[in-house]
Structure 1
Amino acid sequence: MITGYCVNGEAVALSTAEPPSALRPDLVWIDLVEPTKAEDLMIESLLGIPIPTRDELRDIEPSSRLYTDDGAVFMTASLVYRSDTEMPGLTDVGFILAGKRLVTVRYAEPRAFGLFKASVHRISGGCRNGAVILTRLLETIVDRTAEILEQAVDKIDDLALQVFGDKASTRRRPPHFLEARLRDVAGHHRLVAKTRDSLASLSRLLSFVYTVSDVQADKESRELCRTISRDIQSLSEHTAFISGNITFLLDASLGLINVEQNAIIKIFSIASVVLLPPTLVASVYGMNFRMMPELEWQFGYPWALAVMVLSAVIPFFFFRWKGWL
């Protein structure tokens, strides 16, 4: 699907069924979403530049992601998408500055694009050229990334409250509660890791964008690039802080699981120690020797029971006195 946007923010659909002979002069942004081969060829013929394929966008070499060819500037960045699901991921998006136009090529729907399209008509001074569209779009992407991190922090705080709840809530926990929370921690770690990778990709792209002549020629775009770069740096530092919190939460959850397991083992250990002396007494009087004086006692049976009970009670109160119970 191909959608074009004019200087005034008007959206124009472009179709291979009725291909235009030329692009409108006021068309400043062309957005290609999962383009077909025919759509790629149509845009290539209209602009006179190659459109990168999905495999070319996936190339992780910096020299293949940021370059200039025949006067057009080609850039690729990895953006976070599906951040609200259990399986967030990264999608590679291509940005091409061809003359006064911006071309974006993507095979997913990062939410930042929807937010930018909804506000493109409110850009101060209008969509003068592709450089303005690019910097404003990158600003929206970074703002959306900051929102993703804020949501991740809120979820991690809620998870920490579940893990370190008060005594009443911890007693009501179902079995394997902490083990299930480990999966939640892994999900948050995946999202933050993907966000960190995206910020690193955007940082490289911004450094390259700042050197583009069209951006340098526009004072507003140039200053906006500096602001976005500072935002990316602060978000990267914040991401490292969040990663540290996730690591602490993971270690704490594993520690609490070990504490619970040790408590269970402690109960069995104390039970075995308490029951060991009565077992010894019962073993002695369960032997089948003929010459056992206690066999002729009138109160031998209650005597044996009393000894077994006493041998169990004494270790129990000794453990209580030591504070082991």
Structure 2
Amino acid sequence: MITAYCSDCKPVEIGDLSQGSLRDDVMWIDMIEPSREEELFVERTLGVEVPTRDDLKDIEPSARLYMENDAVFMTASLVWKVETDAPTLTDVAFILAGKRMITIRYAQPKSFSLFIAALHRVPQQWRSGAALLAKLFETVIDRTAEILELSVARIDILSTHVFGDRARKVRKPSNYLEEKLRDIAGHHRLVSKVRDSLASLSRLMTFFYTVPAVQQDRDTKELCKTVSRDIQSLNEHASFIAGNITFLLDASLGLINIEQNSIIKIFSIASVVFLPPTLVASIYGMNFEFMPELHFAQGYPYSLGLMVLSAVIPFFFFRWKGWL
């Protein structure tokens, strides 16, 4: 699907791809999962080679950032499916061909819908290919910051569930912490994807800053500097969040070990408490002929009392030591 946006920020229909052409005031061509016919139309109309889905997956820097025939080709990885349990990265191509901007994507990151919704608020002097592309990168970074803030809020809630419930001594299922470990793994996956995305955007902005169309426009140049600084700040923020996730993971594993040790301690103390009564019962259960206690009239209650006493003494000793 191809959507073209003119200088008045309104989408226009292209019509017949085999014979159609672009209006002179078209400033942005947004290609979403383009067909081969749509790719050929853009290539014929603008004289640029449109990268395919396989081309976008190439991780070599020389294949993701390059200039060819006065056109600038850039590819970045953006975070997608943030609201789901399986966030992932999607590769998006950005092409600067003369005064026009071209985007090629096989997913729909929210940053694009946010940019389209705010497109009418872009000042007239920013409605050129390079300036508009810089504005799009700014929206992408703003969305990335929003994702990190969302991750921080979720981690705070998760931390409350892990530590706050224990402070209030709320009874939880035995596998409660194990389930929280899966939640922690999900947050770690999201932050890792954000850091990978920021790394690709950082390389892209370094390359984009050197493009002649950017260097010739002071406002666009300053915006690129601002976006680069924002990327650096978000990288540091993402590292801080990753550290908090690591702490939460270590703390959860520690709490699981404490619970397991408590269970083992109960069994150990129980075995020690009942060991002396078992010894008494074993002694008087022997079948020797000469055992003086067997002829006592009170031998049976005597042995029962001895077993109870041998169990009570270790119990109170453990209580006195603070082991219970």
Question: Normalising to structure 1: TM-score of the pair?
Answer: 0.97
Q: Report what 2:3 is aligned to.
A: 3
Q: Structure 2: any 5+ residue segments left out of the alignment?
A: none
Per-residue deviation at 1:127? 5.0
Q: C-alpha distance in 1, partners of 2:68/2:17? A: 29
Q: C-alpha distance in 2, partners of 1:73/1:222? A: 16
How does 1:165-176 map onto structure 2 within 5 Å?
Answer: 165-167=164-166, 169-176=168-175
Q: SS where residue 14 of structure 1 aligns?
A: coil
Q: C-alpha distance in 2, partners of 1:294/1:93? A: 91
Counterpart amino acid of residue 10 in structure 1: K
Residues 239, 167 of structure 1: alpha-carbon distance in 2 compared, 3 angstrom cutoff: closer
Q: Report what 1:299 is aligned to.
A: 298
Aligned-residue RMSD, C-alpha: 1.2
Q: Report what 1:112 is aligned to.
A: 111
Q: C-alpha distance in 2, partners of 1:167/1:193? A: 29
Per-residue deviation at 1:98? 0.6
Counterpart amino acid of residue 301 in structure 1: Y
Q: Report what 1:34 is aligned to.
A: 33
Q: Is the 8 A contact 1:8 1:126 kept in 2?
A: no
Q: C-alpha distance in 1, partners of 2:281/2:222? A: 88
How does 1:239-278 map onto structure 2 within 5 Å?
Answer: 239-278=238-277
Q: Is the 8 A contact 2:82 2:147 kept in 1?
A: yes
Per-residue deviation at 1:126? 5.3
Per-residue deviation at 1:14? 3.0
Q: SS where residue 34 of structure 2 aligns?
A: coil
Percent identity over paired residues: 63
Q: C-alpha distance in 2, partners of 1:194/1:128? A: 31
Per-residue deviation at 1:18? 4.9
Counterpart amino acid of residue 270 in structure 2: A
Q: Is the 8 A contact 2:17 2:41 kept in 1?
A: no
Q: Structure 1: any 5+ residue segments left out of the alignment?
A: none
Per-residue deviation at 1:168? 6.0
Per-residue deviation at 1:124? 1.6
Counterpart amino acid of residue 3 in structure 1: T
Q: Is the 8 A contact 1:9 1:127 kept in 2?
A: no
Per-residue deviation at 1:293? 1.4
Counterpart amino acid of residue 229 in structure 1: S
Per-residue deviation at 1:170? 3.7
Question: C-alpha offsets along residues 64-87 of structure 1, whole Å, 9 cap, x if unaligned?
Answer: 100001111000000001011100
Question: C-alpha offsets along residues 229-272 of structure 1, whole Å, 9 cap, x if unaligned?
Answer: 00000000001000000000000000000000000000000000
Question: C-alpha offsets along residues 194-219 of structure 1, whole Å, 9 cap, x if unaligned?
Answer: 00000010000001111111111112
Q: Report what 1:205 is aligned to.
A: 204
Per-residue deviation at 1:297? 1.1
Count of residue pairs brought into register by the alignment:
324
Question: Normalising to structure 2: TM-score of the pair?
Answer: 0.98
Q: Is the 8 A contact 2:14 2:20 kept in 1?
A: no
Q: C-alpha distance in 1, partners of 2:248/2:258? A: 15
Q: Report what 2:158 is aligned to.
A: 159
Question: C-alpha offsets along residues 99-122 of structure 1, whole Å, 9 cap, x if unaligned?
Answer: 110000000010000000001011
Counterpart amino acid of residue 163 in structure 1: V
Per-residue deviation at 1:12? 1.4
Q: C-alpha distance in 2, partners of 1:298/1:312? A: 24
Q: Report what 2:231 is aligned to.
A: 232
Q: SS where residue 49 of structure 2 aligns?
A: coil
